[in-house]
Amino acid sequence: MIEKIYEEEFAQYVLQADYPVVVDFYADWCGPCKMLAPILEQLERDNDDFGFYKVNVDENSELAAKYHVFTIPNVVIFKNGRDIAQSIGLKPAEEMQKILDGIK
């Protein structure tokens, strides 16, 4: 299961990581977010060179706004402390894997 983090942990787990990090910005009430969750969990198992975390936008609205997360599900990929890729909406596992492959 992908670990849920909060704004006060974000810099430590995401921005200061020595590896690319996939952040799932989601909400508990979001149906497509719930459908994306098992896809991301499979990607986490298949890509051990990436970190995976999830951020609840209702609990971390300032953080979501900082990274221009206005629609969910919204997956932002960070590398070397910068957001370098973004996937908005529900996407199939194959499409998400192609994004990760382009970052490795």
Q: Would you state the structure tokens that stand for residue 32, as one six-digit string?
A: 């497509």
Q: Which of 48, 47, 65, 49 is nearest to 57 (CA)?
A: 65
- The set of catalytic residues is 30, 33
Q: Residue 29 half-sphere exposure, CB side, CA atoms within 13 Å?
A: 3
Distance CA 9, CA 16 (A): 10
Distance CA 53, CA 42 (A): 13
